[in-house]
Homo-oligomer: A and B are copies of this chain.
Amino acid sequence: MNLRELSESLGLSQTTVSRALNGYPEVREETRTRVLAAARAANYAPNSRARRLATGRAMTIGHVVPLSGKEEMVNPIFADFLVGAGEVYAREGYDLLLSMVPNGEAERAYRQMASNGSVDGVMVQSPRLVDGRIALLQELDLPFIVHGRTGDHSNYSWLDIANIRAFRRATEFLLDLGHTRIALINGPEDLDFALRRRRGFEEALAARGIAPQPHLMQADLMTELFGYNAAATMLDGPEPPTAFVVSAIMPAIGVRRAAGERGMRLGRDISVICHDDMLSYIGNDAASAPGGPPFTATRSSIREAGRRCAEILIDLIRNPGLAPVQELWETELTLGRSTGPAPSAD
């Protein structure tokens, strides 16, 4: 069933039927209801390919997910971010086009999306310190928003959390508890957010006159295993840390495992504070966790970020002249059971 057939069966022109379906005012209310009834009865839906060609809009938003490194790790936070964005897209009538590409080929993917018009805008995630994507998208004149930010971020739209403040605060929290040998288990430091987190960490230490110890800082893909390995190495080494600042909950779980294997209990023998993206399948929140959240954490919902990014992006698409939208979100420090006072001097 297509528009022509439907209109013929109704004895109306395609124009009228199209207008009736799309809510234009030029058609009598009685006619409209008749058309709508017929469309429903015939299970008619306008062919999206044709509609897109005719309108020139793709009604689609592209997400290019770079598969990092050789192991092609997929960041678990992508899923929640996607869901948040997807909710908004669904509500606003947009499709989500997901493109998985090896890390180096993201540029090609964007370029193609722009030139073949398959999307109206794109979502950019995990910006690196030097990231060609932003200049590229500006050149291609494709609406976009960056989750995170990098470089000179005054001229494009982004949404980010206050990473420096969050990690300064987290570190201060541990310092206030009397910890002095504090380790940082960070994300890959070619990513902008990771470097900011490190800066916050170092600033807090510096403010108390503590020099950062290279052997207490590691950075890599934020997997459980990395957290485990890093913590294991540090705990077994000389001058082991009494506390950890960790960049995500997954490596924090790894730290917990390493500590557990060494007979240490979190919050008693060793402290861990991490950033919590509020992933739905972890549930590190006070409401659902009896006795409080397992991890003390700086929190910010990645799904909510996805939602908001989607909203902004759609706004940018609909209003081409819009000035860049930039939002900096504060994180929330929530007390959990993974932190406690530093063990008395040995």
**Residues of A in contact with B (beta carbons under 8 Å apart):** 1, 43-50, 52-53, 58, 65, 67, 71-76, 78-80, 82-83, 86-87, 89-90, 95-101, 111-112, 115-118, 221-225, 228-229, 232, 250, 253, 256-257, 260-261, 265, 279-283, 288-290, 294
List of 5 A-B pairs having minimum Cβ-Cβ separation, nearest first: A86-B100, A225-B283, A79-B79, A45-B115, A45-B116
Q: Can you offer 11 A-B residue contacts whose CB atoms are under 8 A? A: A49-B53, A49-B58, A67-B83, A73-B280, A76-B79, A82-B100, A86-B99, A90-B101, A228-B289, A250-B281, A256-B257
Q: Is the CB of B90 within 8 A of A79?
A: no
Which residues of chain B come closer than 8 Å to A80, judged between CB atoms?
74
| Closest Cβ neighbor of A264 among chain B residues | B260
* A90: B residues at CB distance < 8 A: 99-101
Extra contacts, 19 of them, besides A46-B116, A74-B82 (Cβ < 8 A), are: A43-B111, A45-B116, A47-B117, A53-B53, A67-B83, A73-B281, A74-B280, A75-B79, A76-B281, A83-B100, A96-B99, A96-B100, A97-B97, A222-B281, A223-B282, A225-B282, A225-B283, A229-B290, A256-B257
Report the separation of the CA atoms of residues A280 and B70 in the bound assembly, to the nearest whole angstrom. 12
Instruction: Tell me, rounded to whole Å, the shortest Cβ–Cβ distance linking A197 to chain B.
Output: 18
Known contacts A97-B97, A100-B87, A116-B45; is A225 also within 8 Å of B72 by CB? no
The answer to whether A74 and B281 touch across the interface, beta carbons within 8 angstroms, is: yes
In the bound complex, residues from chain B placing their C-beta under 8 Å from that of A76 are 76, 79, 279, 281
